[in-house]
Structure formats: structure tokens, C-alpha cells
Amino acid sequence: MFNKNDFGEDFTFGVSTAAYQIEGAFNADGKGESIWDKFSNQKGKILDNHNGNNACDFYNRFVSDLEIMKFLNIPNFRFSISWSRILPNGTGTINQNGIDFYNRLIDKSLELNIEPWITLYHWDLPQELENRGGWTNRDIVGWFSDYVEICAKNFGDRVKNWMILNEPMVFTGAGYFLGVHAPGRKGLRNFIPAVHHATLCQSQGARALKNILPKAQVGTTFSCSHLEPNTDSPKDINATKRVDALLNRLFIEPSLGLGYPINDLKLLDRIYSYFKPGDEQLLPFDFDFIGIQNYTREIVTHSYFVPLLNAKIIKADKRNVPKTLMNWEVYPNALYKVLKKYDAYPKIKKLIVTENGSAFHDAIFDGKINDEQRTDYLKSHLKVLLKAKNEGVKVDGYFVWTFTDNFEWAEGYYPRFGLIHTNFNTQERTIKQSGYWYKQFLQFS
């Protein structure tokens, strides 16, 4: 039978979450406003005008949620810290209640033998900092480093595993270029400085953490897309190269000392106008691991209608392929390809799949949720991961996205990604069949 033993003793299994998507308690106990609090409460931004004000109420229910995690034999829990719960204005006065909450969460996890993995930034910038320019203001490098130090000092005695940023391409691309995520800003003049400052925070945040916690395992995570050209025409192949530079190489290559992939993505030229002397030396950082986050493959075609990039992605519903509620193709081999791709960078020491999962319609019948599609999705992705590992890819962990159904950003509560069903009216949790499957998969020793 296929189970965790096939992956060897040291392989890490877990579940991943993010503060804004689960915590709720958006203004409790001194928490400050974040860009997602503001954005999701504006009309027309989120599907059906949902907001994350209450989400899964994890802030008040973490004890019972962790007990379910324990029941499911899940040994590692990735969660993020809400910056504005710790520093309501982003800088300055610390909100002790926020520190206390994460201390309770960490202590309870450890008490249950669940290892905490902290993401320092999963998209919920304090609104006060956005008012001062947010990611487009270079001062964010100092604001972020100070916040990281506070987290390291308060939680580092018990937390060994840290991730600096979650998917910088998504929060800069969706938040500062397309305007579909918080803070809803658009255009290259916002995107390019946001990219440079996020890349600086990626390495400077990691340095700040390592200075205080030299023994910590420090990583950072990337959205990794497996791309294929629509046809083998040179136009489609070149379009795919440009999209690859943008989606896959933009943030990781500077951290590996390779600089920004400007040769393959001319629109990045102007990034140099945001450089200060010495930046080249600041961008690289020797991460202990790289977090790979993959859900699907993308098919790329040349397009004259998309300015600058001249490329577009053909969504799953236009291709007649199996898909999830996100309109993402179910294509397990994408994870295999992505692992191979990142493994080929000689300077990467270790890969951990920090997110992978799927959203489907999960109907409850007789109190049960038979989400076979999700179980199949997880199994098939774990199988290709094992294949990659057996071929020598240095991958060492896998975290399911996600534990309970939660607030899925611009899609609101519609796509359910959880191993556990959340009733958002009553906050009742129901373990799905996929959750029981994971429990069984993890139970062998």
C-alpha cells in the first residue's frame, strides 16, 4: 500500500495555511487593519462580495482545530503570522496580545507534537504601511526586517522552520500589476518597484532572521508554474520563455546570485532605476530550502493583444481538460516537471513542496463528504513527487494546501481546498474523505 514510509524516514509531511485565510478576528485584541481587511471589504473586489473578517475563526478555534490535526496524524503545520496583529501600524508599538496569540498557537502545536512552520509574509501587509507606499516604498526593507526580528526574538526559541515570503510573484503581480488582489494597484510603475523591494526583503528578511537564529532552517516559497507552448511554433516557444522568466525565474534567480532574468524579459529593464549602490550584493541569500508551490500546468500562446509580454495563458476551460473549481487543469506531471526544473539550479540545497492541493464542489450527504477527486489529486501528485525523489531530486517534504476550507482571496469562500469542510455559518468542521485518507497515509510508522 502507498503510504508515507515509501518516502523515507526524514521526509516531512504537513498541511499549509495562511493567517488571513483562516484567522478571522480581523479587529480583535488590538490587531491593526491589513490591506486584505480593507480590500475585501470594498464592494466588487471579491466574488459575491465575501470578506475575510471571520474566515474560519481560527483565532478563537485553534485549539480544537489543532486537535483535529492531531487526530489526522498530521505532524507539521505551516501557518503565517499576521504582521498587523503583531504591529498594528506595521512599525513601532508591539501589540502584546498578538504575540500572546502566536505563543499560544505554537505552544499548543508543540504540546500535540505538531511541528510549527512559520511563513513571515503571506500577503497581509499592514494597511498603514500601504498608506506610505507599501511594497513600492523602499523603506519596506527596514520595516520588514524589524518585523522579522520581533518574530525571531519572540518565537525562535521554539520554532525551527521559517519561510520569509509566500509567492512574491503573486502578491506583486496580482496586487500591484493587475489590481485583482490587495491593495488593488495596477501597472508597471507599481509592479517593478514592488518586485525589487520584495526581492530585497526576501534576502534581507532571511539575514535578519539568521542573525538572531543561526540554527534556524530558513526558506522562502515560490509559485512554480509548469509551462508548455501551445504549439511548437517559434512564436509560442518564445512567448513561453518570456512567461517563464516572469512567473518562474524573476524572484529566485536574484537570490541565487544570477540577477534578474532581464535578457529574456525586456519589460524588466527599468528595474535598475530602483537599484541603490550595493543592491547586487544584497539580493543573493543561501536559503536552507526552497518552497515549491504548484497546482497545475499552463499552456502559453503568443498574443499581440497583451502589451509588453505578447503572451497569454490558455485557461483549462478552453482546452477541454479535467479541471478544478479554480479553472486549473488537473495535471500531476506538472509537479514532477517543476521539481526537476528547480532541482537543476546547482545552488538550491533542498526543495520542499510547501503547497499543493485542489478545490472541488464538496457536497455533504448524510454528514459525509466523499471528495474522491481530491484524494485522487493528492495521491497522483504524491506519486510523481516520489518518482522525482527516487530519481535523485532533492525534495524533502510535502504540505497539502490546505487544512480547512477557507477564504480563497479574490474567489471568496467559493473554492473549497480543505481536507476538512468548514460550514461558514456555524463554523462546524467535517472531515472529508480526503482527510481520512491522509490520516491513514500518515499513520504508518
Per rule CB under 6 A, count of chain residues that contact ligand FCB:
12
3-state secondary structure the chain: CCCHHHHCCCCEEEEECCHHHHCCCCCHHHCCCEHHHHHHCCCCCCHHHCCCCCCCCHHHHHHHHHHHHHHCCCCEEEEECCHHHHCCCCCCCCCHHHHHHHHHHHHHHHHCCCEEEEEEECCCCEHHHHHCCHHHCCCHHHHHHHHHHHHHHHHCCCCCEEEEECCHHHHHHHHHHECCCCCCCECHHHHHHHHHHHHHHHHHHHHHHHHHCCCCEEEEEEECCEEEECCCCHHHHHHHHHHHHHHHHCCHHHHCCCCCCHHHCHHHHHHHHHCCCCHHHHCCCCCCEEEEECCCEEEEEECCCCCCCCEEEECHHHCCCCECCCCCECCCHHHHHHHHHHHCCCCCCCEEEEECCCCCCCCEECCEECCHHHHHHHHHHHHHHHHHHHCCCCEEEEEEECCECCCCHHHCCCCCCCCEEECCCCCCEEECHHHHHHHHHHHCC
Is-contact 52 35, C-beta < 8 A? Answer: no
For residues 20-59, which are near ligand FCB according to CB under 6 A?
A: 21
Q: Pick between residue 18 and residue 300 the one whose CB is nearest to ligand FCB.
A: 18
Kindly state the cell numbers that stand for 238.
Answer: 518564445
Q: Pick between residue 162 and residue 230 the one whose CB is nearest to ligand FCB.
A: 162
Name the minimum Å distance from CB 96 to ligand FCB. Answer: 28
Alpha-carbon distances of 230 from 240, 266, 294, 300, rounded to whole Å: 9, 22, 20, 5
Active site residues: 167, 355
Q: Pick between residue 167 and residue 298 the one whose CB is nearest to ligand FCB.
A: 167
Name the minimum Å distance from CB 321 to ligand FCB. Answer: 19
Determine the longest span between alpha carbons in the chain, in angstroms.
Answer: 64
Binding mask 275-314 for ligand FCB (x = CB under 6 A): ------------------x---------------------
Is-contact 139 149, C-beta < 8 A? Answer: no
Name the minimum Å distance from CB 293 to ligand FCB. Answer: 6
Q: Pick between residue 40 and residue 293 the one whose CB is nearest to ligand FCB.
A: 293
336: contact with ligand FCB by CB under 6 A: no
Q: Pick between residue 154 and residue 293 the one whose CB is nearest to ligand FCB.
A: 293
Name the minimum Å distance from CB 181 to ligand FCB. Answer: 10
Q: Tell me which stretch binds ligand FCB (CB under 6 A): 165-173, 256-264, 300-308, 334-342.
A: 165-173
Name the minimum Å distance from CB 359 to ligand FCB. Answer: 7
329: contact with ligand FCB by CB under 6 A: no
Choose which of 170, 180, 188, 442 interacts with ligand FCB (CB under 6 A).
Answer: 170
Name the minimum Å distance from CB 185 to ligand FCB. Answer: 19
167: contact with ligand FCB by CB under 6 A: yes
Is-contact 219 166, C-beta < 8 A? Answer: no
Torsion angle defined by CA atoms of residues 116, 117, 123 and 126, in that order, rounded to the nearest 10 degrees = 50
Q: Pick between residue 99 and residue 195 the one whose CB is nearest to ligand FCB.
A: 195
223: contact with ligand FCB by CB under 6 A: yes
325: contact with ligand FCB by CB under 6 A: no
Name the minimum Å distance from CB 376 to ligand FCB. Answer: 18
Q: Pick between residue 99 and residue 407 the one whose CB is nearest to ligand FCB.
A: 407
401: contact with ligand FCB by CB under 6 A: yes
Q: Tell me which stretch binds ligand FCB (CB under 6 A): 130-138, 166-174, 248-256, 377-385.
A: 166-174
Choose which of 121, 409, 437, 441 interacts with ligand FCB (CB under 6 A).
Answer: 409
Q: Pick between residue 134 and residue 418 the one whose CB is nearest to ligand FCB.
A: 418
Choose which of 4, 7, 12, 18 interacts with ligand FCB (CB under 6 A).
Answer: 18
Name the minimum Å distance from CB 166 to ligand FCB. Answer: 5
355: contact with ligand FCB by CB under 6 A: yes
Name the minimum Å distance from CB 418 to ligand FCB. Answer: 11
Q: How far apart are CA 22 and CA 81, in angstroms?
A: 11
330: contact with ligand FCB by CB under 6 A: no
Q: Pick between residue 21 and residue 230 the one whose CB is nearest to ligand FCB.
A: 21
Q: How far apart are CA 243 and CA 230, in angstroms?
A: 13
Residues in contact with ligand FCB by CB under 6 A are 18, 21, 166-167, 170, 223, 293, 355, 401, 408-409, 417
